[in-house]
Amino acid sequence: MEKMTRTNLELSEKEIKYLSIGIASGSGIGIISGAIVNNVQLFFSLGSVLGIIGAVAYSYYLRYKK
């Protein structure tokens, strides 16, 4: 099995920051939405996944905008 290193991920420090903000904000919004709908687990995971997808899409947008 190949050892996973930071170079395999190909993320800069700025992109890692966007990813962590995306995960945190998506999780937070998911928890609040889940508390309102009374299904916290589903909305927590949904918010986290959408946060990751949004952050990666935004990073690629900034990378290819240059």
pLDDT in tens, 48-64: 999 999 998 888 888 88
Contact 29, 23 (CB under 8 A): no
Contact 30, 48 (CB under 8 A): yes
Distances (CA, A) of 12 to 30, 57, 62: 27, 14, 12
Count the Cβ atoms, other than its own, within 10 Å of residue 49. Answer: 14
- pLDDT of the residue at 60: 84
pLDDT in tens, 6-62: 455 577 888 889 899 999 999 999 999 999 999 999 999 999 999 999 998 888 888
Domain boundaries along the sequence of the chain: 12-65
